[in-house]
Amino acid sequence: MIENIKQRAYEIENELGKEIEAVCDFIFNNPELGDEEFISSKYLVDKIKEYGFETTYPYCNLDTAFRAELGDEEGPTIAFLAEYDALPGYGEDKEPAHACGHNWIAASTLGACIVLSKLKENFKGKIVLIGTPAEESTGGKCDLVKSGAFDDVDVAYQMHIEAFNNVNCKALAMDSLEFSFEGVAAHAASHPHMGVNALDAVQLTFAGINALRQHVTSDVRIHGIVSDGGEAPNIVPEKSACKFYIRASERKYLNEVTEKVINCAKGAELMTGAKLTYRYFENSFDNIINNRILQDITKKNLVQVGITDILDGKEGPVGSTDIGNVSQVCPTMYTEIALELNPMVYVHESEFLNYANSKEAYDKLHKSVKAMVGCALEIYLEDGLLNKIKSQ
C-alpha cells in the first residue's frame, strides 16, 4: 500500500515538475547573501501558502527565516530544511551568486512539501518546511536550534547537490575565535622600549598554535588569518587581531582543543603585556550525527528513483555546516546528490554556476523530491518506524 501511494507521489511530482523548476530558477536569479535573503524567503513563503500551509514569517527572531506547516499533531512531524543564501564575490562587482546550489535546496525541500500536501488524506502527521538562512555565514540553523524550532520535529531532511551521491556525510564541529590584543603605541625606532607590541602577541598566538598542532588528533583543523596587523612599520602596533576556525570530528574533543587554543592567546598576552580580549565571531557548529535507519530508508528510496551509485561514507576533506547542530537535537538525514558532471565540477567553483540551475540540476531535483517524499511516506505510514529511528 505504501508503494502504491509512492507511485502516486511520483506522478504528482511529474505534474508539479515545472513549478518546482521555477522555484530553482527564481532563487538562482535573485541571489542574496546570508541574513539578507528577503526576496527569496518572501517568494518561498508566498509560494507554499498557495498550497494551504500556515506560515510564520519572520521566524525565531531571524528576519529571513520562516516556518510553514500543514497537518495534524497526531503522527510524525517531518521537517524539510530549505536554504537560499548565495555566496559573495563571483561577479565582476563581487556580486553574490548561487555557487553552492542553495537555490536547488530551496526548490527540492519546497517541492517535497507540496507533493506531500497533495497526498495528505493518506497519512496522519505534519509536513513542515523550515526556511533556514545564512548557511554560508552565520549559520541560521544554530540560532533556530537554540530558539527551539526543532523541539517538536521528529525527523529533519535535506539534500544538497555535490560531486558524489552520499548518505553518510561527515561535517566537522567548528568554533570561530577572534583574538584582539591591545598594547601601547610608540615610535618603532626612537622609543621602542616605550611600546607594547600587540602584533607580537598575535604572532606568538600563531606560534603557540603551531606547536599545538603536533599534539592533537589528525582530524583537527586550525586555520587563521591576521585581521589587524598594525598601522605602519614605524609605529609599534597598538592594536592587532587574528581570527581562527578550529575544527574536529566530535564536539566533545573540539571543546578541549578550543580551550588549548585560547590558552595560546593567553600565553601571548602574558609574554607581551598586550591585553587580550576574545570572542566567538560566528555560531559554533556541531558535527553531524548520522542515523543508520534514516540512511537505509534514504538509500532504498534513492535507488527506487534511479540514483544507484551511492557512497556510504566519505574519506578525505570535509567542512562544517549548521545542519550538524540540528542533528544533535533531532534525527537528521542530510544527503549529497551527485550532478554527475564530466569532468567533475565542485561547489564554490565559478564553473559550478553553470550547473546549479541546469538541465542536470533539474533532473536530480525531481529525483531528490521523489526520494525525500518516498522516505517521508514510509515514516508517516509504517507503524513503529519512527520509534526505531528515534531509538537509534
Site of interaction with Zn ion (CB under 5 A): 100
Cβ-based nearer residue to Zn ion, 98 or 126: 98
Q: How is the beta sheet containing 155-162 ordered, strand by strand?
A: 54-56, 66-71, 126-131, 77-82, 155-162, 332-338, 165-166, 310-311
As given in the structure block, the three cell numbers for residue 296 are 537505509
Cβ-based nearer residue to Zn ion, 103 or 258: 103
Cβ-based nearer residue to Zn ion, 9 or 145: 145
As given in the structure block, the three cell numbers for residue 220 are 583537527
Cβ-based nearer residue to Zn ion, 102 or 370: 102
CB of 294 to Zn ion, least distance (A): 20
CB of 260 to Zn ion, least distance (A): 29
Cβ-based nearer residue to Zn ion, 100 or 376: 100
Cβ-based nearer residue to Zn ion, 52 or 91: 91
Cβ-based nearer residue to Zn ion, 69 or 136: 136
CB of 98 to Zn ion, least distance (A): 9
CB of 105 to Zn ion, least distance (A): 7
CB of 115 to Zn ion, least distance (A): 23
CB of 161 to Zn ion, least distance (A): 9
- Count of residues for the chain? 392
CB of 178 to Zn ion, least distance (A): 22
Cβ-based nearer residue to Zn ion, 129 or 204: 129
CB of 247 to Zn ion, least distance (A): 15
CB of 246 to Zn ion, least distance (A): 19
Q: Would residue 216 be called left, alpha or beta, if left means φ above 0 and alpha means ψ between -120 and 50 degrees? A: beta
Q: Characterize 98-108 residue by residue with b for buried, 16 or more Cβ atoms within 10 angstroms of its Cβ, and e for exposed.
A: bbbbbbbbbbb
Cβ-based nearer residue to Zn ion, 137 or 249: 137
